Structure 1
Amino acid sequence: MQPPIRVYADAKQRASQGYKDRLPHGIADTGRGPVLLLASAGCEVANGIYQATSAKRNAAPVFQHLRRPGCKIYRDAQSVQGRVKHGWLLTREGEPLYGIPTESQSVPSASWRCYKAQEPAPEVVCFQDVAEAVYFVVDHAEVAATAAMEAEDWQRVCDQSTAALDDLACAGHRFGEAFEARAVRWLTRRSQAELRLRETSAALRDAVAAVEISPSDTAAKAAALEVARQLGDEEMLQVVGAGEILDRCAPLALRPVERWVEEVQRVVEARAALRERRAESADADCPGQEENQQVNSSDVKVVTPIQSVDPLGDGEVTDAYHLGFTCWLLLRVEDMREPLLFHEWVLWLGGQLSVMNWRFLAKRKGLALDVESPESPRSERRRIVEQLAAAYELAGRPDAEDRTSAPCCDADIILAQVRQNVPALKGVKWRKES
């Protein structure tokens, strides 16, 4: 079994080359074949898209509802006075809802009759594949959604957008202009409605997902910016659109974006608290409170950023330096497997965390980062690690020598003996102390 492919470009290239039996995870192959769209039926459960299955009944395929497997359409045969007559039935869990007597081996588009379901009878439209039917349904929902937005019925807009996105998830497409344009449009519309309903987290999730799918879409970027301004922190959008938040092989699976939003909200709260502390220290300028002002200002220590950092020259980064640096940051990462040059170490260590996490660590250490930097995520991670390394040098490499202290208990002696026999456990002591 091939492992899941999470790189969008690789997934797109593999699918375009026709590897239908080896499509990447998250890209379904719905195939081509007759697909039925039922609408206007009095029984709402019967409406929807039906795809032909491999099963056959009376020399005709059996159609099954994409989202309700219990609803099926098939060709039925009955014996009447010694003669076999055929017809088409729409059933739910075996109960006939609608039907039409005919000898045709294709599903009729009209003249259906009501059996055990309320009127009116459904109308049937035939398509060549699932995506074509899904896009037809989604596009026809645009009119109702636009009317709901004009009426400022935001809850209705959310419900219609959710239904449209659920339909898009059945299309079997994960990229391409037809799919991406519709997904971005509905995500943006739902984000705007959620923001009016004061559901800020959900609005940010949908807006970020829309920008991740199409970074150049102006409406999606405007929606994301509106949510960021509502939260009072536009800096969070710096990493949006770089392809590092949403799984592009499953663009409508929004759980990764939800986790990112949760992380961002914690960072926003931390930044707000930091701004409050700075404002309090700036206001504490009374002559009789100079000592208190000095103590409060020490809590917010700002280190001047260094644009070109080379604390170790071109030499190798030692295990002691690596462990001291990560201990100083209270950062849990794997140990170096071999000595690395400084620029190699910066690139390797930068890739261990996301840009947002590195920016949070830099803020915690008081680094003033350039918020207008147009760098790629890889370059920005490298730059932040370099600035943190410079701050670590200016701080005198704290805690770098603590690991060589004498054992304080029997457990330290046992761990030291185990590390000598098992080199892979050389970082156990640091993890225990942290």
Structure 2
Amino acid sequence: MYLHGTSKINAKGHLEIGGCDTTELAKEFGTPLYVVDEALVRQRAREYVEAFRASGLNFQVAYASKAFSVMAMCAIAEQEGLSLDVVSDGELYTALQAGFPAGRIHFHGNNKTPEEIVMALDANIGCFVVDNFTELKLLNALAGEKGKKANILLRITPGVEAHTHDYISTGQQDSKFGFDLANGSAYRAVKEAIEQPNLVLLGVHSHIGSQIFEVEGFKMAVDKVAAFAIKVRDELNVTFKVVNLGGGFGIRYTAEDKPLPIREYVKAITDAVISNFTAAGFPLPEIWVEPGRSIVGDAGTTLYTVGTTKEIPGVRKYIAVDGGMTDNPRPALYQSKYEAVLANRANEPAEETVSIAGKCCESGDMLIWDLDLPKANIGDLLAVFCTGAYNYAMASNYNRIRRPAVVFVKDGQADLAVKRESLHDIVANDVIPQRLRKAPTGK
């Protein structure tokens, strides 16, 4: 059994996280329940900051809030000195409501609406990451209407394919994101950007994928970005002050995963930047990165209550829990794998191999295939590890199932960060048109 962060098995044989017994958390807050190990989140954030400080480069570590965006997480990001990457008005609003400094917010996205751009301009965010020519012109026009100049990075696709799932590989040439280096659109974007009177070009952004376990892809991306920066300097007399190398740093979900320590990813990136830019006589740019999963992923655990079972002799035994693809769609989307234990019987030896099914009316609603567990009983508590990233963020109300609560745990204290949805919340935005309302019945 691999335990992350502050997780341990206590004297009662129960899984404990942040000094809190998970069986007590389930009693107090119900299940399904997202539990976030606050100390581990802070540790991961500090590992990035400390690794960049050691490089001597100027930097920003921007937490990618798409991984897990709630106000409590924004508060922690601010306290740990991080910047924030947002991709929608909802994420921006969450950050602003949490009091996050707007000047440290970077706005991403391949289809920012005019309303979102105006909202971000009004908030005076620090930077827009421009994804296409349409946005370049729109942002310039809207900034001009407000008498403002917007700081921008241009997102470029460097043609690097990281070793990752096809659906989460975004740095290759055939991508919906960014200006392509190979076909010249990135160069044209720089020329057009510097002609816009209401935009200030800081530099470029590159992101090569997600859940990456090696450094070669990052180093190759730096090589290509540096070569592009030199070409732009020599031909257009434009010097990039900022190079954003995105995120994608992998975490351990199962024993199959072999992520590197954060400091090794950072050292590979910073060494490549220093060597490339110094060799070209180029001033060292400020380096930005955008970790999301690697800050919150292994800090999250989801607790479920075991319900029904179904055994098909000689084939499989299913154990159903009170959640599923509504709180974790990743297995259905990406065939993602997870590890889990019975949190209330964590010391007991495994007796059987089972598959964990969700409660949604979908054959594909499976959380884990072939998990070794003690013989599970109705009412047992199942803890699924490493659910901190893209679980709550992607949760839905499919089958009108209520989204779970989120609690942050630290030093024996559990604090509610997101309330469990109520049945009233499920219908709160529903409206029955007058023509569909029942007519009063006569006597």
TM range (shorter): under 0.3
Which has more strand, going by share of residues? Answer: 2
Larger Rg over CA atoms: 1
Structure (1 or 2) with the greater helix fraction: 1
TM-score by length of 2: 0.20
